Amino acid sequence: MPYPDRDAYPDRHAYPDRFYPVVDSVAWVARLAALGVGTVQLRAKNLDDAGALQIVTDALAATAGTNTKLVVNDYWRAAIVAGAKHLHLGQEDLADLVDADLKAIRDAGLTLGISTHDDEELATALRANPDYIALGPIFPTTLKSMRFAPQGIPKITEWKKRVGDIPLVAIGGIKLEQAAAIFAAGADSIAVVSDVTQNADPDARVRAWLGQNAEAA
């Protein structure tokens, strides 16, 4: 069945923000929202249904009254029940869905971002008519074991040509000092994990990212 048109979601053109941190707790979500971050992904693994609903509900409460858009990783049922607006799925998550699930996600008004690592995954993601495509890892990452080799910056340019006006998010081992080259290669957004969460002064690093992106905008 055809999936709903992305143009039915007008805010997709400003989404996700150029700086897109990915964190694993409500405390991090609240901290980033207080710093003025526009898009934050909550990626908390291995939760049961009740735990997923609780953390999504709490994260939405933490962003209430701020300009932060919360992206829920994986837990689409909890996202729907809690009233979230943005969802991110990995390839394994996407493979577990049937057409009715994708329709439920869209009917609930959720935007959809999808992770990709190779040509086959890109084709799979495009069939779901996503609101953005994430490509990674761009550089080596120590956060989790990756079965895919680093993509490198040139792949960003190649994939941006292929996805057209769909926003392209670069992820994987990226630091602030590499941001200018990543954007120049064609990325619309950079997803950041360790450069914030493992930084000695995360707040200062976030402000630097926000300042860099404001200058580049």
Which pLDDT value is given to residue 8?
46
Which pLDDT value is given to residue 68?
98
Cα–Cα distance, 183 to 170 (Å, whole number): 9
Q: Which residues contact 4 (CB under 8 A, 6 or more apart)?
A: 103, 106, 129
The alpha carbons of the chain give a radius of gyration, in whole angstroms, of 16
Tokens 């707790």, located at residue: 25
Q: Which residues contact 188 (CB under 8 A, 6 or more apart)?
A: 18, 132, 160, 167, 168, 169
For residue 69, the surrounding DSSP H or E stretch is strand 69-73
Which pLDDT value is given to residue 143?
60
**pTM for this structure?**
0.92
Which pLDDT value is given to residue 32?
98
pLDDT tens string, the chain, 217 residues long: the values are: 334 444 444 444 589 999 999 999 999 999 999 999 999 999 999 999 999 999 999 999 999 999 999 999 999 999 999 999 999 999 999 999 999 999 999 999 999 999 999 999 999 999 999 999 999 999 998 765 667 889 999 999 999 999 999 999 999 999 999 999 999 999 999 999 999 999 999 999 999 999 987 666 5
Using a 10 angstrom Cβ sphere, with 0-12 exposed, 13-18 middle and 19 or more buried, the burial of residue 100 is exposed
Which pLDDT value is given to residue 4?
43
Cα–Cα distance, 150 to 173 (Å, whole number): 9
Contact 134, 114 (CB under 8 A): yes
User: What is the set of domains in the chain, with CATH numbers?
Assistant: 12-216 (3.20.20.70)
